[in-house]
Amino acid sequence: MSYRGGRGYRSNPVPVPDEDLLKGVGDVVCKIPIPTLTVEDSEVVEVDDVHPVASYTWLDKPKPTIVVPGSPPVWRERSLPFVVEKDNVVAFVDQNGNRVPDYPLLPLVAAVTHMEPDFAFSSVEFVTDRNTLRKLLRWIRGREMDPSVKDFRFNVELVGKTLLFTRHETKTVEISNRGYGLGFEKAVTREPPAAGSREKLGGVGHHRIVRYTLEGLDLLVRFELDACLPDEQQAKRPTDLTELLARLDRVGLSETAPASSTSTSAPAPATKPKSKPVEHMHGIDIVPAGTLVPQSRTIELVTCSSKFVSTFSWAENYPQLFLSQTAHHFLGLHNFGTFSKIEKRTLQSLTAGRIGEEQQGDLKRLGKALRVIYDRVVEEGPGVLLSLACVGQVLTLRKRTDGKHALPDDLLAAFSGV
């Protein structure tokens, strides 16, 4: 049994009731078939032009506040064995949807706009969370191959030539008490170099946005990053987050503070902002601090009971690395919380070996599914509110009746090229 932890969690667990999966969803537009492969399909899934665009770290504050680019926890070697307690916290299922329920994609746009003010959103074909792509992969594999497949839904909107995929979860937090993943992450990571007080400030989850082409499709993908390898050179020192947050508190910003639709400056990662230390976008405070770490240092942390390591699901775990192009996979093996071994692999070695080879077909079919979805949504036209819902292993494109757009109007305009 494997478990992937997440830095975003809260103590004092409180059960949260599930919402209706199909709330606000109307008539079926069409059924999306599971793609098949033909002899014309190449054997290797093509991923090109991988480029980290932005990142951010959530702070646990009453008003939505992100540190951009923020910094992920840093890996630290531990002497083995070591022991961690079993998890018993309320963990985020979707932190972005929890903190910004009206516009879960807003932090993504805020971080990208802050770091790359001239980023051409209109040139991207898909904006999505990695989580959504993984759900589509599970649908492709089917319940016979993956008994853990559950019904799911995400919202879809075409703006210009870009499809915006917005997560829709029946709950955005849940009690995490099934494994040792969160304890493992705490035990094997430390705070970023110049943000040593981040725990006191409430850092609760680091998110990263990468751009790449998958089977010729241009994707902007957000995901939660567990950790990164340490920077041995330490050539640049991140901005002092403590001072910036103190300045934020001094100006006494309230929930009703004016919000600008675009960033006013774009300081390079790991340098001190030149003027305005705190920016705002539609109710989100943006604190410039941290470092956009290189893709080569990114790590996915996973745990597994030593008893079940022989049945560890690479069909589930390899795509998690692949779809975010995370460079390293560290698997902690334990016996009831006593960790005795950490297996370290790289995405490159996994892709070149049997594990990567076995996943090529499903990933190829994912690319074909995305192309079919894109074409069907384009037929409906821009601005039409839609959802993709998978119920009983049947994926359907449906009209949406809730009237909620993916982003505020001025930000949607950026995707239209206006």
Taking the C-alpha atoms of residue 108 and residue 347, their distance in angstroms, rounded to an integer, is 25
304 Cβ contact list (under 8 Å, min separation 6): 1, 2, 3, 312, 331, 332, 333, 334
- End-to-end CA distance of the chain: give it in Å, rounded: 49
pLDDT computed for residue 81 by the predictor = 98
pLDDT tens by residue, 132-190: 999 999 999 987 666 667 899 999 999 999 999 999 999 999 988 889 999 999 999 99
User: How many residues make up the chain in this entry?
Assistant: 418
204 neighbors 58 (Cβ within 8 angstroms): yes
Per-residue pLDDT of the chain (418 residues; tens, 9 = 90+): 444 444 555 444 345 567 899 999 999 999 999 999 987 787 788 899 999 999 999 998 999 999 999 999 999 999 999 999 999 988 899 999 999 999 999 999 999 999 999 999 999 999 999 999 999 999 999 876 666 678 999 999 999 999 999 999 999 999 888 899 999 999 999 987 544 444 444 478 999 999 999 999 999 999 999 999 998 765 444 455 666 666 566 554 444 333 333 333 344 444 343 444 789 999 999 999 988 999 999 999 999 999 999 999 999 999 999 999 999 999 999 999 999 999 999 999 999 999 999 999 999 999 999 999 999 999 999 999 999 999 999 999 999 999 999 999 999 999 987 6
Taking the C-alpha atoms of residue 255 and residue 263, their distance in angstroms, rounded to an integer, is 18
Please tell me the number of Cα atoms within 13 Å of 78 on its side-chain side. 21
Domain boundaries of the chain, sorted by first residue: 2-415
Taking the C-alpha atoms of residue 99 and residue 118, their distance in angstroms, rounded to an integer, is 26
pLDDT computed for residue 194 by the predictor = 46
pLDDT computed for residue 42 by the predictor = 77
Nearest 5°: phi and psi at 217?
A: -95, 135
pLDDT computed for residue 18 by the predictor = 79
| 115 beta partners | none
